[in-house]
Amino acid sequence: MKKTIIISTIMLFINLSYAQEVYKDYKDFYKSGKLKTLGKLTNNNNEVGEWKTYYENGKIATIKNYNLTGDIIGDWKQYHKTGGLKSIGKINNNGKLIGKWKWYYKTGYIKVIGEFDENGNHNGDWMFFYPNNTLRKNLYYKNGKLMEVISYFDIKGNPINKGTLINGNGTVRYYNLEEEFIEEIIYIDGIEKK
């Protein structure tokens, strides 16, 4: 019985010592004196919890979260200098992008929507949009491999030549935002042929 009480007391003391770790506030400033970074540090000087970075104009630049070992994990948000959301998604404890991610134009319209698997590979449908919010292209990935160009449109919504890619084999035609043809790339088993 005494051994059980002693062991329980020791375990309680160990747990309390970990639970009572005091985090230090961290702030960094631009030369102008404006706030640049705000967060907390562990006793080992690892970033922990929510961290915010700011543009010199005072607008938020990023919001990210760190675990106790200083690895970025969980929600990640990045903002344009004008204050609008630039990207949002999640990061796993290996630093890889996971789950659904969205990127935005400065206007607030969606630029890209896609999903990453647990290993950080592109997976499923990836949709790209023009700045006027019309669908530009829809690509299908499987385990990080480009399997199909489902659709490709000009800025008015008219279909354009997407190439021949089916089941990861064929060509993909690429265009810039002005709809000018850039190049055609060959894919074999979903991987770009070099």
Q: What is the pLDDT of residues 110-159, one digit of tens each?
A: 999 999 999 999 999 999 999 999 999 999 999 999 999 999 999 999 99
Residue-level pLDDT at 21: 66
Residue-level pLDDT at 129: 97
The domains of the chain, with CATH numbers, are 23-164 (3.90.930.1)
Q: Taking residues 12-31, what's their average pLDDT?
A: 70
Residue-level pLDDT at 57: 96
Quick check: 18 pLDDT over 90?
no
Strands of 19-96, DSSP E: 24-29, 35-41, 47-54, 60-66, 72-79, 85-91
Segment 57-114, tens digit of pLDDT:
999 999 999 988 888 889 999 999 999 999 999 998 888 999 999 999 999 999 999 9
Quick check: 15 pLDDT over 60?
no
Type of residue at 169: N
User: For the purposes of burial, counting CB atoms within 10 Å of the CB of 16, is it exposed (0-12), middle (13-18) or buried (19 or more)?
Assistant: exposed
Quick check: 5 pLDDT over 60?
no
Backbone phi and psi for residue 145, each to the nearest 5 degrees, phi listed first: -110, 135
Distance in angstroms (rounded) separating the CA atoms of residues 190 and 179: 24
